[in-house]
Amino acid sequence: MCATTADAVRHVRQKNGLPSIHHLNVPRGVDSVAGMKTVGRGQDMKGHERPLVQPIIEPFQSFIRTEAAGGILLLVATCIAMVWANSFWDKSYQVFWSTPIGVTIATYTLTETLLDWINDGLMAMFFFVIGLEIKREIMVGELASWKQAALPLAAALGGSILPALLYASFNAGTATAKGWGIPMATDIAFSLGILSLLGLRVPLALKVFLTALAIADDLIAVLVIALFYTSTISWTSVGMAALFLVLMITANMIGVRSLLVYSILGIGGLWLAFLFSGIHATIAGVIAAMTIPARTRLTGREFLKKGTTLLRQFEKALVPNEPELANRERQHIANRMKTVVTYVETPLQQLEHILHPWVTVVIMPLFALANAGVPFDTDLAAILLDPIALGVTIGLIVGKPVGILLSSWFATVCGLAALPEGVSWHQMWGIGVLAGIGFTMSLFIAGLAFSPGPSLMAAKEAILLASTIAGLTGWLLLRYASEMQKG
């Protein structure tokens, strides 16, 4: 990163062949506006040299750190739920999450249990962020071209189909066969959280691959939920949802960038219509995300022109020894600069930046707290031998890694894809095992597949067991693979 605002402007102008701004030509490390010493180009806050690639990988590393923190919170929330559901206050667990909460607008009242508000409402926000990530990855990320997308897509496809087939083999011809979608997904927060524990032992390319794999996995899971876990459909509500969707698409096409407009149309229109349609309301989150604008209002050159003009005005507005609070012109210019900065950032980026921490730190742990409380007051061995539990456990522990590895190998042998640079097949096997952490999405699909009762309990216990085994085994395999690669 460039050291000062002036440095940043000068660096980009030179890169784009634009003339220099002489009165902003300050010595590196000195801020001509504030008169204070700052960090030099290519240096960190301690003055140490930073790699030139650091500005490129910093956003991704920040994302990884957030997901790792989210994984820790997920684990804590899961432990609290398990202890709560198996303590002296076990009855209060079910009673608390079954508390009805109503929202009344004019003459209309919507009443759901606290658990349903989390699973249908807050999780729609989770799926909305997934939709934003999918759109970003398709446009500019790891899924932006066939060459980039081939390996994670092939891995996700194999890692979804084989677990579903294994589950079906244990439950074919029974009422529990509808749970085949449970072992298909990967929990990105837990998997990246465990991967982060290995630190520099694993290359960044492996973390990028796991992220792309998990996002592709989520895309498949969303399609499965929409197509196969839908109850009786109200076509009137579907028509209303289609109308609000057209309005959101139209807003995008005519250049509307107000987040408030998309919030009203998305929550007050699209989500409510899906809630009453019979199609699970969380799908509204993914669909709404696809309508969010991904274009900037200003181009890079326009931003530079406006930015440098404002910087000049800002410098001229400086009055020696005048308190900052007394300089209204300077504050006015600063506010205009803030507006210009928002114009060069897409609404998609703004929403992802705003919502991602809330989803990772609040919504997902809350979902775990409300759904992971499984009582172990029955014969655990008998439950784990249940066809549902066997299908989920074998699907996640065996189906996931085998499916990911076989499909990745096939894609590379056929010349459709290549392994990321610095990544070995031993590490790919470890990633495949780590992807068996189904947790959040698996618990979510289990709640759609089964009503509260023994079947749902068996599925939840299997998900918790399999995710724990997958996490520990994947960590050990990746640690071993990294040591092998070094030595």
**Which CA distances in Å does 342 have to 82, 326, 337, 348, 353?**
44, 26, 9, 12, 13
Asked if residue 180 has pLDDT above 80, the reply is yes
Per-residue pLDDT, 324 = 67
- Among candidate residues 456, 282, 437, the one with its CA nearest the CA of residue 373: 456
Mean pLDDT rounded to a whole number for the chain: 82
271 within 8 A of 284, measured Cβ to Cβ: yes
- Please state, in angstroms and as integers, the Cα–Cα distance from residue 235 to each residue in 90, 161, 232, 273, 274, following that order: 41, 31, 9, 10, 10
Predicted confidence (pLDDT) per residue in 297-353, tens digit: 888 888 888 888 888 888 888 777 767 666 788 888 888 888 888 888 888 988 988
Residue 68's pLDDT band, with cuts at 50, 70 and 90, is: low
Q: Residue 421: what pLDDT? A: 81
H/E stretch holding 205 reads: helix 204-228
Give the pLDDT band of residue 153 (cuts 50, 70, 90): very high
pLDDT at 59: 57
- pLDDT tens readout for residues 45-63: 444 445 555 555 555 555 5
pLDDT of residue 1: 40
Q: What pLDDT was estimated at residue 20?
A: 45
At 318, the amino acid letter reads L
Least trusted range by pLDDT, from 15-19, 103-107, 240-244 = 15-19
Residues 263 and 319: their CA atoms lie apart, in Å, by 42
Return the top range by mean pLDDT from 106-120, 269-283, 434-448. 434-448
Q: Which amino acid is at 206?
A: L
Residue 457 reports pLDDT greater than 80: yes
Residue 303 and residue 386: Cα distance in Å, rounded? 62
- How does pLDDT run across 220-271, given as a tens digit for each residue? 988 898 888 877 788 899 999 999 999 999 999 998 888 899 999 999 899 9
Please name the residues in contact with 385: beta carbons below 8 A apart, sequence gap of 6 or more.
Answer: none
Q: Is the pLDDT of residue 80 over 90?
A: yes
Distances (CA, A) of 247 to 80, 203, 239, 251, 288: 43, 44, 13, 6, 11
Number of neighbouring beta carbons within 10 Å of residue 486: 7
Helices (H) and strands (E) in the chain, counts: 22, 2
The per-residue DSSP string of 267-321 comes to IIIIIHHHHHHSS-THHHHHHHHTTS--S-SS-HHHHHHHHHHHHHHHHHT--TT
Q: What is this structure's pTM?
A: 0.73
CATH class of the domain whose range is 54-115+145-202+223-230+374-486: mainly alpha
What was the pLDDT predicted at 13? 45
Can you give the pLDDT at residue 477? Answer: 93
Confidence of residue 30 (pLDDT cuts 50, 70, 90): very low
- Residue 460 pLDDT exceeds 80: yes
